[in-house]
Amino acid sequence: MSAVEIRELVKSYGRNGPLILKSLNLSIRPGEFTVLVGPSGCGKTTLLRLIAGLEEVTAGEIRMHGKVVNDLPPAGRDIGMVFQDYALYPHMSVRQNLSFGLQQRDLPKAEIEARIAEAAGLLGLTEFLERKPAQLSGGQRQRVAIGRALVKRPKIFLFDEPLSNLDAQLRSRTRVEIADLHRRFKSTSIYVTHDQVEAMTLADQIVLMERGRIRQVGTPEQVYERPANRFVAGFIGTPGMNFLEGEVVESKEGATGFRFHGMGERSAQTIRFALGEAPRGMTQADGRAVIGLRAEKIMMAEPSRGDIVARVSLLEPHGHETHVLAEVAPGLTWTLRVTGRVSLSAGDLIGLRFKRNDVHWFAADEEGERIDFDFLPTPKREISPPSVTYH
């Protein structure tokens, strides 16, 4: 049985307000760590608040452990919520902040003391129990907010960007703590973040939302390696996937050409795919498609040896690697990742090479769904690393 089951969930504010959530379906297994990601305003917080019972459902159903909870108040749902802004009581000590929710539940005093001691120990807060929130650092306050959810021992944890106020170091330390807590308590967790590292490292399953819709649910590997559509492919990954729209032409023998207007001397370029290396039947639709390539799957070569000719527009040193931004078509920039430093300059022409197996295919329409097909490799086309590299 799912810990949380969401069916055809719809939310709008006010009677004729726009649809903020558009018929969501989602299933979360007990003990699973689910991460919600998506652009600002896509409905992540709204979804959490509906699950918590802080907002009313417009249509559809929320079930917890099999029971419909649509009309249950937050206190009846056995959840602990950690907000981005901590929402601590400023006039109470850390100890009082931690015990507040428990006193309301009429737990025995000794039990409350024991839970506070355990949570404080786990979160490194023991020495701060008598302090007020204002006397704590941001990271300590954040841990109090997590502790307050923890002492309730809820079946389900909801986190809304809990680490976004922390500096980079504290953020990664607290991320590890959250992962540890989850390993120990195995509570079902739903976690909203803008941080891809958090999403990829913490999640059992990632839910990608766009404008009130769920565009893919999958493991971190699935959403990275087999994105269901262009939105997911572009959103996941730093940088996101590189895209190129073009016209698909097929020969009688089954080879496919992907034509686009590129850079270089001949602006009309064609990327050749042998039989089995590209989806078939594309020309029966309108003949257009979008190909996608991850930055790390693209190799640089001399312009004459590339699958695509591109013009370097910017170099971004990241220390351990350099991002090379290059124009592959007028106004269309791709990002490549090169280990170490490169001696290229803006304006240089370079060739880009890639294995046909690394190409993702998407529909050219607005939905941009992934086009799946059985890739049949033709050994002679295997590409070895380019003979010329730039240093």
Ligand X SMILES: Nc1ncnc2c1ncn2[C@@H]1O[C@H](COP(=O)(O)OP(=O)(O)OP(=O)(O)O)[C@@H](O)[C@H]1O
Contact partner, 41, from ligand X, Mg ion, none, Cβ < 5-8 Å per class: ligand X
Indicate the residue among 45 and 188 with the shorter CB distance to Mg ion: 45
Interface region with Mg ion, contact rule CB under 5 A, candidates 41-49, 117-125, 231-239, 258-266? 41-49
Q: Look at residues 380, 331, 327 and name the one whose alpha carbon lies nearest to residue 352.
A: 327
Q: How far apart are CA 333 and CA 336, in angstroms?
A: 10
Indicate the residue among 158 and 293 with the shorter CB distance to ligand X: 158
Q: Does 46 bind ligand X (CB under 6 A)?
A: yes
Q: Does 13 bind ligand X (CB under 6 A)?
A: yes
Indicate the residue among 162 and 368 with the shorter CB distance to Mg ion: 162
The 242-250 sheet, strands edge to edge = 268-273, 256-261, 242-250, 288-293, 360-363
Query: Helix or strand or coil: residue 21?
Result: strand
Q: How far apart are CA 51 and CA 49, in angstroms?
A: 5
Binding test (CB under 6 A) with ligand X, winner from 26, 33, 34, 44: 44
Q: Look at residues 223, 184, 219, 224 and name the one whose alpha carbon lies nearest to residue 203.
A: 219
Q: Does 193 bind Mg ion (CB under 5 A)?
A: no
Q: Does 368 bind ligand X (CB under 6 A)?
A: no
Binding test (CB under 6 A) with ligand X, winner from 4, 43, 297, 324: 43
Q: Which residue has the tokens 């649910």?
A: 217
Rounded to the nearest whole angstrom, what is the least distance from the CB of residue 306 to ligand X in the complex? 39
Q: Does 294 bind ligand X (CB under 6 A)?
A: no
Contact partner, 46, from Mg ion, ligand X, none, Cβ < 5-8 Å per class: ligand X
Interface region with ligand X, contact rule CB under 6 A, candidates 43-51, 240-248, 273-281, 293-301? 43-51
Q: Does 140 bind Mg ion (CB under 5 A)?
A: no
Rounded to the nearest whole angstrom, what is the least distance from the CB of residue 42 to ligand X in the complex? 4
DSSP type of residue 90: T
The residues near 368 (Cβ < 8 Å, ≥ 6 apart) are 229, 230, 231, 290, 362
**Would you state the structure tokens that stand for residue 89, as one six-digit string?**
């009581």
One-letter amino acid at 74 equals P
Binding test (CB under 5 A) with Mg ion, winner from 32, 35, 45, 273: 45
Q: Does 121 bind ligand X (CB under 6 A)?
A: no
**Would you state the structure tokens that stand for residue 202, as one six-digit string?**
């913490």
Q: Does 215 bind ligand X (CB under 6 A)?
A: no
Q: What is the DSSP string of 166-211?
A: S-HHHHHHHHHHHHHHHHHH--EEEEE-S-HHHHHHH-SEEEEEET
Rounded to the nearest whole angstrom, what is the least distance from the CB of residue 234 to ligand X in the complex? 17
Catalog residues that contact ligand X under the rule CB under 6 A: 13, 20, 38, 40-46
Catalog residues that contact Mg ion under the rule CB under 5 A: 45
